[in-house]
Amino acid sequence: MTRDDAIAAAAREFDSGEFQAVLARRVARPTESQNPERAAELAAYLSDEIAPAFAAMGFRCELLTHPQALAPFLYAERIEGEGLPTVFGYGHGDVIRGLDAEWREGLSPWRLSTQDGRWWGRGVADNKGQHTVNMRALAQVLAARGRLGFNCKYLLEMGEETGSPGLRALCERERGRFGADLLIASDGPRLRAERPTLFLGARGALNIDLKITARPGAHHSGNWGGLISNPGIRLAHAIASITTDRGAIRIPEWRPAGVPEAVRRALADCEVDGGPQGPAVEPGWGEPGLTPAERVFGWNAFEVLAFKTGNPQNPVNAIPGSAWARCQLRFVVGIDPDDILPSLRRHLDREGFADVALEADTAGMFRATRTDPDDAWVRWAAASLERTSSQRPAVLPNLGGSLPNDIFTDVLGLRTVWVPHSYPGCSQHAPNEHLPASLLREALQVMTGLYWDLGAGDTPR
């Protein structure tokens, strides 16, 4: 059988309802990693659902544990021979809380529903739909060729939605066994629903709490207004000093040296579009002189996630004693993550805000990663996607958001090529999570072609 035969078989599997039945079974499992009561369900997803599917493809499966993790990890490998390319796959079977009562009438997070050309259910986009696509694509190649033609190692975790506890330590422990030529995995959204996409890393992320505690308790605003400082006003001005009024970052250490030429070339034909349900890009916001794609994929962004002073639910005539804000820096390769907090401290002191206390969630920090867009493996993967879909894929140097990609690059030393099977309007992490059926169908064909090409004997070395 040929490459075209395998891709056609993948389309028939989708059209027959077989793929839908597999995904429906997986969506029905309430694998909420944020709910400690789901620990047994998390483990069962791997042992009862995923391990048998890999075993049916001739993979050797093993459940690996780590004391930091609520559930085990599933490691599956199929080694076909020395000298063959070795690909490392990754996915996660845990999901965000179902939020059952908030779904649209007629929908449930734990039932795969089809309406308006879309499939609805918790995990359809993040990440059950995505790793199901990849697993079924592997099965199609095996059925058509009788072998993969490459070595495959796959790791599935059940704690990504809670920060992947234990994943880094596990990869450090199993570094020798997890060795591969590159990672090919799927998570996150395409640039647009209709355009196949590659992304090569992720922006880093660090959450920082800023707090001013001026005095114990609040004091009557009539008696003390104009006599004592207002922490809400002080903190608002401190935050305002970090960026311009249009969101451009003012801290020198938080500003990249520039957008690398390879990144600029890769982003030249990438248009940011959230679709009909997404917000419109505001051309005057962020770093001036950059395209929207460069602003979100090639630059840093500082955001205020929450701000509290006084009693917002029941305001009273009193000057609050304290104010607090949770902020976030999304940053690209080239920023020293260990200097993010110290440079903010230096900036606030220079601006006269020594009274602002800082605390960063360094344990939950994601580090920025980016495979070179000119890497031979990137060009190979892009050519495969274009051959299958008949359109040039978007190549994003990194995802605008964050995921634990630095574990694969820094601990395992892998090039990373992500092929996302979602889109910006999918409502992941919210009620009514969904994907267009047409996107999933194309994704199954694209991945079948990619895995076929991986075993065809013409890959980079």
Same domain flag for 75 and 215: no
Q: Are residues 425 and 315 in the same domain?
A: no
Note the pLDDT tens digit of each residue in 306-319: 999 999 999 999 99
CB-based burial of residue 407 (10 Å sphere; 0-12 exposed, 13-18 middle, 19+ buried)? buried
At 165, which CATH number?
3.40.630.10
What is the rounded CA–CA span in Å between residue 60 and residue 79?
Answer: 9
- Same domain? 19 vs 63: yes
End position of a domain, from candidates 332, 364, 396? 364
329 assigned to some structural domain = yes
**Closest among 143, 54, 161 to 98, alpha carbons compared:** 161
Q: Which residue has the tokens 């620990």?
A: 39
Establish if 68 belongs to a structural domain.
Answer: yes
Q: Provide the CATH number for the domain around residue 249.
A: 3.30.70.360
Give the number of domains in the chain: 2
For residue 88, give both structure tokens: 């490392």
| 251 and 109 housed in the same domain | no
Eight-state DSSP code of residue 108:
B
For the record, the structure tokens of 197 come out as: 């996409």
Q: Residue 303 phi/psi, 5° resolution?
A: -130, 150
Same domain, 186 and 221: no
What are the φ and ψ backbone dihedral angles of 423, each rounded to 5 degrees?
Answer: -150, 160
CA angle 161, 396, 426 (to 5 degrees): 45
Phi, then psi, of 201 in degrees rounded to 5 = 175, -155
- Dihedral of the CA atoms 438, 440, 445, 448 (nearest 10)? 180
Among residues 336, 364, 392, the one where a domain terminates is: 364
In the three-class reduction of DSSP (H, G, I as helix; E, B as strand; rest coil), residue 10 is classed as helix
Residues 310 and 339 in one domain: yes
Per the domain annotation, does 172 fall within a domain?
yes
Sheet containing 182-185: order of strands = 60-64, 73-78, 151-157, 86-92, 182-185, 415-418, 197-199, 394-396
Helix/strand/coil for 154 = strand
pLDDT score of 276: 75
| pTM of the model as a whole | 0.91
Task: Name beta bridge partners: 389.
Answer: none
The β-bridge relationship of strands 415-418 and 182-185 is parallel
Among 8, 177, 141, 143, CA closest to 455 = 141
- Residues ≥6 apart with Cβ < 8 Å to 350: none
Q: 52-69 as b/e, with b when 16 or more CB fall inside 10 Å?
A: ebbeebebebeebebeeb
* Residue 388 neighbours by CB under 8 Å, 6+ apart: 7, 445, 446, 448, 449, 450
Q: Which two tokens stand for residue 254?
A: 């938080």
pLDDT at 192 (0 to 100): 92
- Classify burial at 422, counting beta carbons within 10 Å of its beta carbon; exposed 0-12, middle 13-18, buried 19 or more: buried
Q: Are residues 404 and 341 in the same domain?
A: no
Residue 198 and residue 208 in one domain: no
What's 412's DSSP letter? S
Q: Same domain for 170 and 182?
A: yes
The owner of tokens 């900036």 is: 347
DSSP string, 324-347: EEEEEEEE-TTS-GGGHHHHHHHH
Radius of gyration of the chain (CA): 24
Would you call 319 helix, strand, or coil by DSSP?
strand
Integer angstrom CA distances of residue 36 from 32, 94, 181, 276: 8, 12, 36, 36
Range of the domain at 408: 3-202+368-454
Element (H, E) at 295: helix 292-297
Distance, CA of 325 to CA of 428 (rounded, Å): 25
CA distance 52 to 17: 20
What pLDDT, on a 0 to 100 scale, did the predictor assign at position 278? 74
CA dist 256 → 181, 248, 250, 299, 301 (Å): 29, 12, 11, 7, 11
**Residue 314 corresponds to which tokens in the numbers above?**
């029941």
Residue 52 belongs to some domain of the structure: yes
Q: Is there a cis peptide before residue 405, judged by omega within 30 degrees of 0?
A: no
Question: Which stretches of the chain drop beneath a pLDDT of 70?
Answer: none
Two structure tokens written together for 405: 């990609």
Token look-up 């997070």 returns 109
Considering the domain architecture, whether residues 397 and 319 belong to the same structural domain is answered as no
Query: What's the distance, Cα to Cα, between the start and end of the chain in Å?
Result: 26
Q: Which of 364, 383, 401 is the last residue of a domain?
A: 364
Sign of the Cα torsion 436, 441, 442, 444 reads positive
Residues 224 and 252 in one domain: yes
Cα distance between residue 201 and residue 397, in whole Å:
6
Q: Confirm whether 220 is domain-assigned.
A: yes
Is 459 contained in some domain?
Answer: no
15 and 122, same domain (yes or no): yes
pLDDT of residue 297: 96
Tell whether 445 is covered by a domain. Answer: yes
Is residue 278 domain-resident? no
